[in-house]
Amino acid sequence: MPPGFDPEALQVQGQARIAPVGSTIALMGSLSFSEIVVIVLVILVVFGPKRLPELARKAGELMKKVRSASSSITGALGDEYDATIDPIRNVKQDYDDLKSDLTKAVTSMGTSLEGNGSPAAEGPGGVVSTPDSPPPDDSDAT
């Protein structure tokens, strides 16, 4: 690599920047500009200038088919992912609903205990008891 060349500087927030001549292009893997020029020249010599437009057309059609297949596979995988994840989302939603209901129930019970005027006494070990509840079991007292 040329001195002072930073390959990470070629990408800024997922977008490729133009690289200096002779450096590695981030989108092309490890092919440098000079290697790409040599490949193009070899293709031109092997196939000739008369067959080059036909070859380019076929390469374009091939790329179109590859993109189409890629998008259909991506769509199918997305559908499968959604079908797999939906039951998990439903279970999570049920869990969140249950948690919310329990929180509301405990909060309303605490509010009703505070609001009915019955004093809460703290027993041994920090256990809170009300006049209606049985005394806590203290096995250490015996």
- Band of the pLDDT at 70, cuts 50, 70, 90? very high
Region 8-36: mean pLDDT is: 59
- Residues 81, 118: Cα–Cα separation, whole Å: 55
pTM listed for this prediction = 0.38
Mean confidence (pLDDT) of the chain: 76
Residue 22 tokens, joined:
């002779």
CA angle 126, 131, 134 (to 5 degrees): 70
* pLDDT number for residue 64: 96
User: DSSP label at 132?
Assistant: T
Q: Which residues share a beta bridge with 12?
A: 15
Domain spans, the chain = 7-109
- Band of the pLDDT at 135, cuts 50, 70, 90? low
CA angle 130, 131, 133 (to 5 degrees): 65
